[in-house]
Amino acid sequence: MTSTYHINENGFYGAFGGAYIPELLYANVEILRLNYKRIIHSDEFQQVFRQLLKDYVGRPSPLYYAERLSKHYNARVFLKREDLNHTGAHKINNTIGQILMAQRLGKTRIIAETGAGQHGVATATVCALMGLPCVVYMGAVDIERQAPNVERMRLLGAEVRAVHSGSKTLKDATNEAIRDWISHPEDTHYIIGSVVGPHPYPDMVALFQSVISEEIKSQLEEQAGKVHPDYVVACVGGGSNAAGAFYHFMDVPQVKLIAAEAAGKGIDSGHTAATVAIGAPGIIHGSKTLLMQDKDGQITEPYSISAGLDYPGIGPLHAHLAQTGRAMVIPVTDTEALEAGYELCCMEGIIPALESAHALACLKKLELNPDDTIVVNLSGRGDKDLETYINNLPHGK
Ligand SMILES: *Cc1c(COP(=O)(O)O)cnc(C)c1O
């Protein structure tokens, strides 16, 4: 069966994707491209990957029927509990997959870049697990802003290298990681944290995260007597948790795919990360996709209250899903996300990551029927966001 929504043999999703990389990086990416599918689909890889997902990550993550939320929205609302994974989010599914890939390619050293630090922590975790040295590049500004995650990475044995160039944030850290990879092509694997970067990264990361929708199907069948929900809702930074939650439903047209992007202070405010709403085609991190840019094509600085959604691009799969109308992309402001976060705290006793709260905020924006079944992907837990929640509490709370 040929699918319109999976990657084609040239590494494109429709008009988006590809591998726009410097000549010096070509050999590294090519080795990965030629081997990733064979390795992932081998019995040996699947057996080790599945075992670690079960015993180390704690999968399957529960699919929880949220009764009070369902009453409130007059529909059947299920939460996919990626927040209950080891390290508190979906990111570990990908870093486990990639470290196993690195080992099978004979790599002995790992590098990564991180913005908020969540991907850095997930990478440092699997490097400790496998006993591999780990260097995480992080902008100097982000190191200041995300001190607890820097401490976690160091405790796990990773070296955090501060990047002082440019705006000292994520894209500068990415440039440094790429430079490192160019100078260590033989022994090093670069673990990218979302469905972004040059082909084959977006497809590889989506495959590792697709365990999310694989589980949703069987859990929904057991709990609701059907395999296909009416809606799947997920937040999109680079788009890896959404890719995982959508994956096995992309070719099932009756399942509506809803992507929540961070509108920040509003899509026209100049303080936003709503890439689909205001972005245009361009090239970032080695792939062609939608990105926020000024009239000269310079990437503009994104903003969101949630560090994990604070990214000026979007994975090429999601650019394609948005452009073809397969997914509906809903911008959610900081304020709307905070309200949805507070609501989940008080209605279900779950403190969601601010990223995931963007997905929850879509429940208010959809026109739901009482027999609609909705799965919201709860990508992570909110412990890291406590300070933001507390500092923004509405008056009288
Ligand atoms: C990193 C992160 C995200 C955003 O990344 P995606 O690749 O878009 O999934 C969302 N939620 C949480 C909890 C995160 O840590």
pTM of the model: 0.97
Cβ contact 158:127 at 8 Å: yes
Confidence class of residue 167 from pLDDT cuts 50, 70 and 90?
confident
Directed axis angle between helix 118-130 and helix 147-155, to 10°?
Answer: 10
Q: Which two tokens stand for residue 250?
A: 């992309």
Residue 397 pLDDT: 63
Is the predicted pLDDT of residue 7 greater than 90, yes or no? yes
Domain limits of the chain?
Answer: 27-52+91-204, 58-88+211-391
Contact 159, 134 (CB under 8 A): yes
CATH class of the domain at 58-88+211-391: alpha beta
Distance between Cα 321 and ligand 1 center (Å): 18
Which of 70, 80, 82, 91 is an active site residue? 91
Q: Are 292 and 275 in contact (CB under 8 A)?
A: yes
The radius of gyration of the chain from alpha carbons, rounded to an integer in Å, stands at 20
pLDDT score for 2: 59
- Decide if 269 is catalytic: no
- pLDDT of amino acid 4: 84
- Residue 171, pLDDT score: 85
Give me the chain's average pLDDT, please: 96
Comparing C-alpha atoms, which of 260, 209, 12, 257 is closest to residue 4? Answer: 12
Q: Tell whether ligand 1 has an atom less than 6 A from the beta carbon of residue 288.
A: no
Residues paired with residue 331 on neighbouring β-strands, in sequence order: 261
What gap in Å lies between CA 338 and CA 388, rounded to an integer? 9
Architecture of domain 27-52+91-204: 3-Layer(aba) Sandwich (3.40)
Cis check for the bond before 200: say yes or no (omega within 30 of 0).
Answer: yes
Of 70, 80, 82, 113, which residue is the catalytic one? 113
Kindly tell me the number of DSSP H helices and DSSP E strands found in the chain: 16, 14
Q: For position 145, what pLDDT does the model report?
A: 85
Most ligand 1 atoms within 8 A of CB, residue of 113, 235, 287, 289 to mutate: 235
Mind listing the pLDDT tens digit for each residue in 45-100? 999 999 999 999 999 999 999 999 999 999 999 999 999 999 999 999 999 999 99
**pLDDT (0 to 100) of residue 228:** 98
Please give, one letter per residue, the 3-state secondary structure of 309-336: HCCCECCHHHHHHHHCCCEEEEEEEHHH
